[in-house]
């Protein structure tokens, strides 16, 4: 896909879009190749502007190719977690949509959780995406700074109460990748409340094929899941004093279900593990 084409930088998806979207650009005399993917969200629909031509070639991560017609100079395609190759002919130019959500309205919000927690609630709204990686100024492996809430006894609720009611239209919930003892968020409901009146904003359900029990030299289970770690919500503007996450399911470390076991043949409990919750005003 990139043979005889030199790396020419990345497309700009805006201040917030660059956190969860990536498109590498390779240019040559015979045209350009873009490698598009998201960085751990659910499939994310995008509308690109394309100057020149009537169609572009799309090649998926497995080599399947198709022609995608342009509609009034726009290309509609979803960024998925696997790489998608967009092949542009000589003279075609592409411009990415930008996602700039504005100031985070949750920096002074109060957080409560319906079960036992580890770490202070304040790290969920401090503007820092904490990490468990060694050597990182906001991370470390010895005493992970990741906020953790007990979940295994059933669905639990996390509430974010704003200092005063605001008109909101977007939110970003940052979890972790499924890895060893770190549990990725899979299923939850998001509601907004203005007083006692609640409105459902979105139901998030992440399909995971059942783990396959196996016997090999290095494992006892084959597991299947993607790289979900960031959930980007865009919804019709509502007036809200409080957001509520009703959390139903996470992975069990790197195991997505109750059919897999860790090294000591024990089933790890589900845990809600979050790095940040951000809330923004309505879109333009």
Residue 105 counted as domain residue: no
**Domains in the chain, number:** 2
Residue 264 is predicted with a pLDDT of 60
Q: 35 and 159, same structural domain?
A: no
Token pair in block for residue 7 = 């790396």
Distance separating alpha carbons of residues 258 and 211, to the nearest angstrom: 8
> Looking at the structure, do residues 147 and 25 belong to the same domain, yes or no?
no
244 vs 262: CA distance, rounded Å: 32
Nearest residue to 37 via CA among 14, 17, 51? 17
122 and 80 in one domain? no
What CATH code is carried by the domain that includes residue 268? 2.60.120.260
Assess if residue 223 is contained within a domain: yes
265-269 long-range CB contacts below 8 Å, 24 or more apart? Answer: 265/220, 268/181, 268/183, 269/150, 269/151, 269/152
In a domain, 181, yes or no: yes
Same domain assignment for residues 54 and 157 = no
Please tell me the predicted confidence (pLDDT) of residue 111. 97
**Which two three-digit tokens encode residue 125?**
């709204």
Cβ 35 vs Cβ 27: under 8 Å: no
Examine residue 104 and state whether it is found in any structural domain, yes or no: no
Q: What is the dihedral of CA 163, 158, 14, 51, to 10 degrees?
A: -130
CA terminus-to-terminus distance, the chain: 36
User: What pLDDT sits at residue 265?
Assistant: 66
Interatomic CA distance for residues 109 and 139, integer angstroms:
23
CATH no. for residue 32?
2.60.40.1180
- The pLDDT value recorded for residue 197 is 82
Per-residue confidence (pLDDT) for residue 284, from 0 to 100: 63
Question: Which residues of the chain carry a pLDDT beneath 70?
Answer: 218, 260-265, 284
Range of the domain at 28: 6-95
Q: What whole-number distance in Å separates Cα of residue 47 and Cα of residue 113?
A: 37
Residues 86 and 160 occupy one common structural domain: no
The 10s digit of each residue's pLDDT in 35-48 is: 999 999 999 999 99
130 vs 196: CA distance, rounded Å:
33
Q: Based on the fold, state whether residues 137 and 88 are members of the same structural domain.
A: no
Dump strand ranges (E) for 42-181.
44-51, 55-59, 65-69, 74-79, 84-88, 93-95, 110-113, 117-118, 147-150, 156-174
Last residue of a domain, one of 95, 118, 133: 95
Predicted pLDDT of residue 266? 72
What are the structure tokens assigned to 39, written together? 């960085």
160 and 199 both lie in a single domain = yes
Q: Do residues 21 and 79 touch, judged by C-beta distance below 8 A?
A: yes
CB 240 within 8 A of CB 166: yes
Is the domain of 131 the same as that of 263?
yes
In a domain, 151, yes or no: yes
């Amino acid at each position: 896909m990139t043979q005889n084409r030199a790396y020419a930088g990345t497309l700009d998806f805006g201040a917030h879009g660059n956190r969860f979207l990536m498109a590498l650009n390779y240019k040559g005399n015979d045209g350009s190749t873009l490698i598009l993917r998201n960085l751990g969200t659910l499939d994310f629909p995008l509308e690109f502007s394309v100057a020149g031509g009537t169609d572009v070639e799309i090649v998926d991560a497995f080599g399947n190719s198709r022609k995608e017609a342009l509609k009034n100079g726009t290309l509609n395609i979803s960024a998925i977690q696997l790489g998608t190759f967009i092949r542009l002919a000589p003279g075609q130019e592409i411009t990415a949509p930008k996602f700039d959500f504005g100031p985070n309205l949750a920096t002074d919000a109060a957080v409560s959780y319906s079960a036992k927690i580890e770490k202070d609630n304040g790290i969920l709204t401090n503007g820092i995406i904490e990490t468990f990686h060694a050597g990182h100024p906001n991370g470390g492996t010895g005493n992970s700074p990741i906020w953790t809430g007990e979940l295994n006894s059933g669905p639990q609720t996390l509430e974010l109460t704003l200092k005063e009611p605001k008109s909101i239209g977007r939110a970003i919930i940052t979890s972790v990748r499924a890895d060893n003892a770190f549990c990725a968020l899979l299923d939850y409901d998001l509601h907004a409340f203005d007083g006692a009146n609640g409105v459902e904003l979105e139901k998030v359900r992440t399909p995971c094929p059942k783990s396959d029990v196996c016997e090999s030299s290095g494992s006892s289970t084959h597991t299947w899941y993607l790289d979900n770690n960031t959930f980007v919500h865009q919804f019709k503007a509502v007036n809200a004093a409080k957001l509520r996450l009703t959390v139903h399911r996470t992975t069990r470390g790197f195991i997505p279900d109750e059919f897999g076991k860790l090294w000591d043949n024990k089933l790890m409990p589900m845990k809600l593990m979050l790095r940040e919750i951000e809330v923004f005003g309505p879109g333009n």
